[in-house]
Amino acid sequence: MTITAHSEFGKLKSLFIKKAADAFISDQHIEENWQHLNYLGKPDFNEAVNEYQQFESILKAQGAHIYYLPQNAEVNMDSIYCRDAAIATNKGMIICNMGKAARNHEPIAEQKAFIKNHVPVLGIIEAPGTVEGGDVAWLDEHTLAVGHTYRTNENGIEQLRALLNPIGVDLVVASLPHYKGENDVFHLMSIFSPVDKDLAVVYSPLMPIAFRNLLLNIGYDLVEVPDDEFESMGCNVLALAPRECLMVRGNSKTKALLEKSGCKVIEYTGKEISVKGGGGPTCLTRPIERFI
């Protein structure tokens, strides 16, 4: 098998995560911050810790090496969604610049963790450019899709292109709709989760036509998330390995469609750590390397 950072579906080899206890800190900290961070509801600290322990145990069972992002007073609750602050490539990490101002300190915090753990850094997205990791997804080893959203702007996309072109990676831009506006978390991976080289979970009503057609033209089959499971994160699916999927419990229709496509599906309870903050299993992990 080949080891690569350029995959969303290969068997996980290494990844970073941040425990709920280290991101949410305490009930008092949650009380002071959840509303201005635009959470759908106030997470319960103890329940969040319990949910995360279950989530972490599933990851540990995969045998991947887990790096832990430490508690850091410079960042807030959203740091639990550690995918967003960086992008993994075969030549090192790209450190993002967040489109959500309240998350501005997360990229440098992750950069310090990468350096401490001897994970190389390829480059940094700088203002006025913004890029968030939830807006990018590998289509294949040489093609990265990026969403043009309220969190990832044109300047950031061009900086990303300048970093990727020299290492032989093409960029495909998907311009996403306004949807719920600037204050909502709406990333490319809100509507697109690859789970194998030729299979992806999608929510087509919010998908750009050109991007959806591209997926079909390059050989992807699409698992279509029903309308009533989009808001409950039916489309946010993490591939632990090809067609081995991790998703938030409560999306039975999408789960059945995945199983019909030959996938093994593992569920976790994510009411506190995922649904209220708008971040499913892809958001909760920053994969570094995978086997393909």
Question: What residue ranges define each of the domains in the chain, with the CATH number in brackets?
Answer: 3-188+275-291 (3.75.10.10)
Model-level pTM greater than 0.95?
yes
What are the tens digits of pLDDT across the range 193-237?
Answer: 999 999 999 999 999 999 999 999 999 999 999 999 999 999 999
Helix (H, G, I), strand (E, B) or coil at 184: coil
Rounded mean pLDDT of 14-41? 98
Q: What is the mean pLDDT of the chain?
A: 98
- Cβ atoms of 141 and 95 within 8 Å: the answer is no
What are the tens digits of pLDDT across the range 153-173?
Answer: 999 999 999 999 999 999 999
**DSSP assignment, residue 20?**
H
Amino acid found at 36: H
Kindly state the tokens that stand for 250: 């409560």
Q: Residue 23 has what pLDDT? A: 98
In the chain, % of residues over pLDDT 90? 99
121: confidence class by pLDDT, cuts 50, 70, 90:
very high
Q: What span, in angstroms and rounded, lies between the C-alpha atoms of 151 and 99?
A: 4
Integer CA distances (angstroms), 143 to 24, 90, 164, 208, 286, in order: 35, 13, 10, 17, 19
SS3 helix, strand, coil % of the chain, rounded to 5? 35, 25, 40
pLDDT at 53 over 90: yes
Q: Residue 183 has what pLDDT? A: 87
Rounded mean pLDDT of 68-90? 98
